[in-house]
Amino acid sequence: MRTSTRTGVGRRVAFGLVATFFVVGVGGALWLQLAEPFGDPGVENLVSYSALMLAATAVVVWLVCVRRTTGRARLAIIATVVAAIALFFTLFRLDSFSGDMVPRFRYRFGDDTTGYRKVPAAGPTIDLRTTTKHDFPQFLGPTRTASVTGVSLARDWNARPPEKLWKRPVGAGWSGFAVVNGFAVTMEQRGAQESVTCRRVATGEVVWEHAIENRFASIIAGDGPRATPTIDDGTVYAYTNHGTLVAIDGASGEPRWTRDVRGAFGGSPEDDATALPYGRSNSPLVVDDLVIVPAGGVGEKRRSLVAFDKATGERVWAGGNAQLSMASPSVATLCGMRQILIVNEDTVSGHDLSDGRVLWEHRWPGSTNGGANVSQAVALPPSRVWLSKGYGRGASVIELRRDEAGTFAVDPKWAKRRVMRTKFTNVAIRDGHAYGLSEGVLECVDVATGERRWKGGRYRHGQLLLVDDLLIVLAEDGEAVLVEATPDRTNHVLGRCRMLEGKTWNTFALHGPILLVRNATQAAAYRLPLAE
C-alpha cells in the first residue's frame, strides 16, 4: 500500500513538472512573439524555437516516462519519434533561413540544376561606355539613394500589369544589378567560382563572364557574392567576398587590373571567418578618378576605406581604422565639404576625399559578426545624416557642425529604437519623410522629428526603390508591390505582381521602364507600364 501511495505521489509530482515545462515552453513562445522583448524578430524566433523544443520534450517525457505505458509501447513511441525525425532529414535538408530566422528546408532529391553554360566570347556590340539618361550604374541607383527620377510610371497595375520579358536561372548570391546602355552586370556563384556576369537587358542572355576562384557558403546568410558591381566609363568594378577588387573591361569581360585588398591590410581567410562570417557586401564607389571600398583588416593595418586610381589600380590613400560593416561608401556634401560617408562596424564616419583622413566620427553600435550594420547612412544636406538599422537599434539623425578651422563636431538630434528598424534594407527619402521596411513592415517616418507617420504592409526583408512619388517594394517572397509614397495614406497599394519564386533579399534596378530583379536562383526583367 505504501509503495502504491509513493508511486502515485511521485507520478503526480512528475506530471506537475512535465506540465510546468510544457506550459512554460508554449507560453514563453507565445509571449516572445507578442511582446517582442528583444526588438529583433530573428532573436525572438530563435528563442521561441528553444521554448517549443522544451514543450515538445515535455510531451515525449510524459508519454515515455510518466504515463502508465508498457515497455513495448514506450519502445514504439521512441522508435516512431526517431524514425519520423530520420525520415524528415532523409527527404529534406536545411537550405537557408529567412530574414526573421525562420528555417527553410529543401527536398533533397529535387531538380537543382543551375542552368549554367559556356559563355561565348564577347562581341564588339557590347558597349558599356555609352551612357543613357535611364542608366542605373551602381548599388541603389544613380545617386546611391534608392531612388530614381525621370520615369513616369502608371499608377494602376491592376488595369495595366507589368509585362514579363524573360526569366532565367542565376547563380547564388545577394548581388544586385548595375545597368548601363542596355546591359546589366551582377555577381553570382557558379560552382567554385565567384563570377561577374554581363547580360543583355532585352533577353537576359549572358554575353560575358569573368570568374574568380572563390566560394562563399553559409546556411544562415546564404551562398555567393553580396556586393553589387559599379559601371563607370566602360569599366566594371567588382568587390568579391574574399576582398579582391577587380576592374573589368566592359566590352570584353577581360580584367584590366586586380587588387588583393584583404591581404594588403593584414587579413586572411581565418580572420574573415571570425570577423566577417556573413561575407563582404560592400559595393565599390567611383568618384572622380578614384574607386573606393571598405578595407577592414587586422590590428594596426586595418583601414576603414581604401582608394585606388580607377584607371591603373594604384593605391592613392587609405584612411580610418574601423572594421568594415555590411554597408557601402557614398559621396556627400555636408557642411559645405564634399566627403565620403561610410557606416563602419560600430561607427559612422566622414572622410576627406583627397586623402581619406577621418573628418568626423559618431558611435553607431554594431558587430559585423553579430548585429551587423547593413543600412546606408543617408546625407541630409546641408548638415544632417540619417542612420537606421535592425537588431533593436532603430533610427537616428545626427547634425554636423564645422568651425572656422575646419574641425567637425557631431550633435545627435534624435534617436528612436522603435522606428525604421531596417535590418537588411535601406530607406528612400522624399519631401522630408523616410520610407523603409522596419523589420519587414513598410513604414513612413518624419525625418525632422523621428515621429512615425504610418506603418502597414508586411513585406518581410525585401527591398524598395522610390520612383518619383511611387515606391516599388520587392517583398522577401519575390512579389513586387506598387505603393504610393505619401505621408498621408497608409500603405496605399496600387498593384501587385509575382516576379520571382524563393527568398529574395537582393536590391533591384530600374532601367527606363524595365525592372530587373533577381534572387539566389532566378533573374528576370519586367516592362512596367508608363503613365499615358
Which pLDDT tens digit goes with each residue over 149-200? 999 999 999 999 999 999 999 999 999 999 999 999 999 999 999 999 999 9
Mean pLDDT taken over the chain: 90
What residues form DSSP beta bridges with 378?
A: 386
* pLDDT exceeds 70 at position 449: yes
Mean pLDDT value across residues 393-407: 97
Q: Which amino acid is at 85?
A: I
Cβ neighbours of residue 363 under 8 Å, at least 6 residues apart? 346, 347
Per-domain boundaries in the chain: 2-107, 147-527
| pLDDT on residue 281 | 96
CA angle, corner 301, sides to 360 and 309, nearest 5?
75
Return the exposure string of 198-218: e unless at least 16 CB atoms fall within 10 Å of the residue's CB, then b: bbbbeebebbbbbebebbbee
49 SS3 class: helix
pLDDT band, very low/low/confident/very high, at 112 (cuts 50, 70, 90): very low
**SS3 of 323, please?**
coil
* Dist. CA 260–CA 244, nearest whole Å: 5
Closest CA to 58 of 112, 96, 21: 21
pLDDT at 29 over 90: no
Q: Show contacts of 259-262: CB within 8 Å, 24+ apart.
A: 259/308, 259/313, 259/315, 261/293, 261/295, 261/306, 262/295, 262/296, 262/297
The answer, yes or no, to whether residue 1 has pLDDT greater than 60, is no
Beta bridge partners of 429: 434
Q: Which helix (H) or strand (E) holds 263?
A: helix 261-264
Q: What is the pLDDT of residue 7?
A: 57
Residue 491 CA to residue 487 CA, distance in Å, equals 9
Q: How far apart are CA 308 and CA 363, in angstroms?
A: 27
Instruction: Take residue 411 and report the three cell numbers written for it.
Output: 550633435
Q: What percent of the chain clears pLDDT 90, i.e. is strictly above it?
A: 73
Name the burial class of residue 360, with classes exposed (0-12), middle (13-18) and buried (19+) by CB atoms within 10 angstroms of its CB.
buried
Residue range 36-46: average pLDDT? Answer: 72
Q: What is the pTM of this model?
A: 0.88
CB 178 within 8 A of CB 139: yes
Residue of higher predicted confidence among 114 and 228: 228
For the cut 50, the answer to whether the pLDDT of residue 115 exceeds it is no
C-alpha 199/C-alpha 195 separation (Å) is: 13
- Contact (Cβ atoms closer than 8 angstroms) between residue 460 and residue 475: yes
Collect all residues with Cβ–Cβ distance below 8 Å to 461 and sequence separation of at least 6.
98, 99, 100, 423, 424, 425, 437, 440, 476, 505
Q: What CATH superfamily classification does 147-527 receive? A: YVTN repeat-like/Quinoprotein amine dehydrogenase (2.130.10.10)
Q: Which residue has the cell 558591381?
A: 229
* 321 conformational bin, left if phi > 0, alpha if psi -120 to 50, beta if neither: alpha
**CA distance linking residue 380 with residue 358, whole number of Å:** 19
